[in-house]
Structure 1
Amino acid sequence: MQRYLFKVGPIDLAGPLLPGIVDFFEEGAAAGKGVLELIGNDVAAFCDDLVKDTPTYADAVQESISGRPGTDER
């Protein structure tokens, strides 16, 4: 998850997302659940769902490449 979120993840990971992830895992651990029980076998899909409504580094790169208005044209 860390590699995925740091490479592709949200621009503002330290915002409400990170504390929410920590709370999610703490609650799962308190209930005696393992990580894969909480997120499933597809870690990337879980991470995609976490960041689906937030701007990501991948979005920023794509916008800069496409030359959309509001970005530097190269």
Structure 2
Amino acid sequence: MSIQDIIEGKKEWRAHMARVKGLPQEYQIVYKEIQKYLYKVGPVELTEGTGLLSGIVDLFEEGAAMRKDVLEVTGSDVAAFCDDLIKDSKTYADIYQESANEDVYKAIKKSSDK
């Protein structure tokens, strides 16, 4: 990754966060909780640009323009909303599980080769 890529990424992130700050307060609160949730359990692709997060902001901007309550947009279970968004994406938990399984299989194979 070049310095230019880093600078461009920061510009994109600042523009994205400016959009978030333009949302009504309740939408900002829910967005920040979604962001925290996705950073903890979310997809590997989340750190690559702002695609998924921008899509959420798009959805929130539409909901706010229609004067909907934020929970009308996400549903009352925000974690379930997030899980549904990433259901087909590879997560860090998936990578960790695969790694742990590979380590176990390698250890078993190694001990049986003796």
TM-score, normalising length: structure 1 = 0.80
Verify: 1:63 aligned to 2:98, yes or no: yes
- Is the Cα–Cα contact under 8 Å of residues 63 and 69 in structure 2 kept in the other structure? yes
- Is the Cα–Cα contact under 8 Å of residues 35 and 53 in structure 2 kept in the other structure? no
Q: Which has the larger radius of gyration?
A: 2
The runs of 5 or more residues in structure 1 that have no matched partner are: none
The runs of 5 or more residues in structure 2 that have no matched partner are: 1-33, 108-114
RMSD: 1.9
Which structure shows the bigger proportion of residues in helix conformation? 2
The Cα shift of 1:3 comes to: 1.9
TM-score, normalising length: structure 2 = 0.55
Alpha-carbon distance between aligned partners in 2 of 1:40 and 1:4, rounded to the nearest angstrom: 16
DSSP 3-state at the match of 1:67: helix
For 1:4, the equivalent position in structure 2 comes to 37
**Hey, which bits of structure 1, 4+ residues long, moved more than 3 A?**
none
For 1:44, the equivalent position in structure 2 comes to 79
Aligned length: 70
For 1:23, the equivalent position in structure 2 comes to 58
